[in-house]
Amino acid sequence: MKKILYYVLLLLLFSCPAIAGAPEYPEYVEGEVLVVLEAPAESDHMVMGSFNANLYSWSVSNQADSFARGRSLESRRTFPKIARSSKRSIAHFRSKNKSTKELIQELSSAPGVKSVSPNYINRLHLTPNDPAYKNLWGMENIGMPKVWDYFTGSSEVCVAVIDSGIDYNHPDLNANMARDSKGNYGVYIYNGVQHGNPMDNYGHGTHVAGTIGAVGNNGLGVTGVNWNVKLLAVNVFPYGGSEDDDIIAGMEYVLEEKGKGLNIRAVNMSFGRGGYPEIDTDDSPLGTAVKSLSDAGIICAMSAGNEGWDISDLETYFGMRKYPACFRFDNTISVGAINYGNTKRESSNYGDIWVDIAAPGGDIFSTIPRNGYDYDSGTSMAAPHVAGAAALLSAAYPNETATQIKARILNNARKIDVPKYWKHGILDVWAAFETPVTGVTVAPKTASILTGGTQTLTATVAPANATNKNVTWSSSNTAIASVNASGAVNGVSAGTATITATTVDRGFKDTCTVTVVKPESGGPVIGEFYNPKWNNNKNFFTFKIHLAN
């Protein structure tokens, strides 16, 4: 009894007020924990020589209820089948007035507790269940599966698709369609006619829209870069061709809707002319319109064209450029096309001065009108990968400007065929999305605990906004000191051990040196404990606890 009291008091004295390495990822349900206890003995639940499952289930539940009483906990759920099999009883608790961190601090040292963990939110590893996903080589190429494990976009962000309209009834697009200030899915503008029905009967715009934002993980068809986004259809190419005035009217419509509150963060422009004389981009009509979009904080993803030209040579020898791809404003991005294997698509225009980045553009599978799907190729298919990336990054980092999001995209491009074909390289959304870990610090740096005692260490991962802040814990000698996944160190036997925290991202390490001391009498008194019930005459029995000499 004296030994038990001694350890209980030590647990209370040496418990640490911080939860170790509380990562931002994975997520967990605040105010809830899962506690692992020693399961009730199976032998205590025999009736007439046979195991009584109902009695055992009641016992496991009663164990959790007893644990919850006096701790302001609500016992939510137990798992008696697991308890019987593993000899460990898992109990799910909720508190109305304590945080998860506080619960872990309080419960880790409670008698009979094996471990305390947050009630983590697990998500599927997000390769979507859309049946044609296997055809979307471009999504793998730009790193989307890793991004989707953390983020899949937001319906708070809108992308305007200046194209041939969108089949807004397509089952893989309808849920992600935006509504403008008049309640329409967008606008139709052609040859002086304007109305609110942007239905796509040509097919190009619907294909582009699917790459940007086909609904993901819905068990249907394909998925876009964004599973969740809003798509605004701007139909100015109903028959595959359009004039500047209609295109500019479409851009004005985009500006108007943004001014009315629609959060348009990107626009896709998979169109352009052949060689066109060099112009003063600030003064040209189309250039002025594109600059207005850029100045409004909208990233303009523009296809570089499919003539197979080096645009730099086009300029040098013929005094001509491609527009709108050659407009250079704060938030414009010119996009070339690659095939599977990161090779330049033969038809793609290129040039390390005028083509900023390349993206998948060969044999791209996406949505087409009348509920269909098909392959298409060209820089028209490459640009929406970039527009989709701009939307997703804008949703993930809502406080960053369009110029900052553009910098994320360009500065994190994979340096392939630079400067041969592309100014910055090939689109890598994961690299643009990820904030890498730069280090980890363990506190305290040294600790002294008694055998049977615990000390919880804290791992602080830098920077504070790192994408993956998970750490793993290890001990150099588990016979002296063991450590659990939360950084709680248990003194096993006298000696010294090194406890190490290692970041899952990039493997940074930091350590704490733990000295475990065997308790002996004769040292200074660190606490007393008494209970009048131990003496029939009601005299106090006092136990003095000493540190080792």
Rounded Cα gap, residues 193 and 187, in angstroms: 10
Residue 430: CB partners within 8 Å, gap ≥ 6? 142, 143, 144, 146, 147
Rounded Cα gap, residues 337 and 303, in angstroms: 8
Rounded Cα gap, residues 439 and 446, in angstroms: 19
Catalytic choice (59, 89, 149, 163):
163
Rounded Cα gap, residues 307 and 378, in angstroms: 10
Rounded Cα gap, residues 25 and 44, in angstroms: 41
Rounded Cα gap, residues 117 and 104, in angstroms: 7
φ/ψ of 395, rounded to 5, equals -75, -40
Is 505 considered catalytic here?
A: no
Is 163 considered catalytic here?
A: yes
φ/ψ of 205, rounded to 5, equals -65, -35
Greatest alpha-carbon pair distance for the chain in Å reads 111
Rounded Cα gap, residues 416 and 398, in angstroms: 29
Catalytic choice (108, 115, 180, 204):
204
Catalytic choice (380, 394, 475, 486):
380
Tokens of 433: 């999305």
φ/ψ of 84, rounded to 5, equals -65, -40
In terms of Cα–Cα distance, which of 155, 104, 120 is closest to 24?
Answer: 120
Tokens of 396: 């993930």
Handedness of CA 479, 485, 489, 495 (dihedral sign): positive
Give the C-alpha distances (Å, rounded to integers) separating 312 from 315, 333, 357, 358, 421.
5, 16, 15, 16, 10
Tokens of 10: 């030590």
Tokens of 535: 């003496």
Tokens of 435: 């904030």
Is 380 considered catalytic here?
A: yes
Residue 270: CB partners within 8 Å, gap ≥ 6? 163, 204, 208, 303, 379, 380, 381, 383, 384
Q: Where are the alpha helices (DSSP H) in 114-166?
A: 137-141, 144-148
Q: Which helix (H) or strand (E) holds 253?
A: helix 244-259
Specify the amino acid at residue 503. Answer: T
Tokens of 514: 């733990």
Question: Could you give the residue numbers annotated as active site?
Answer: 163, 204, 380
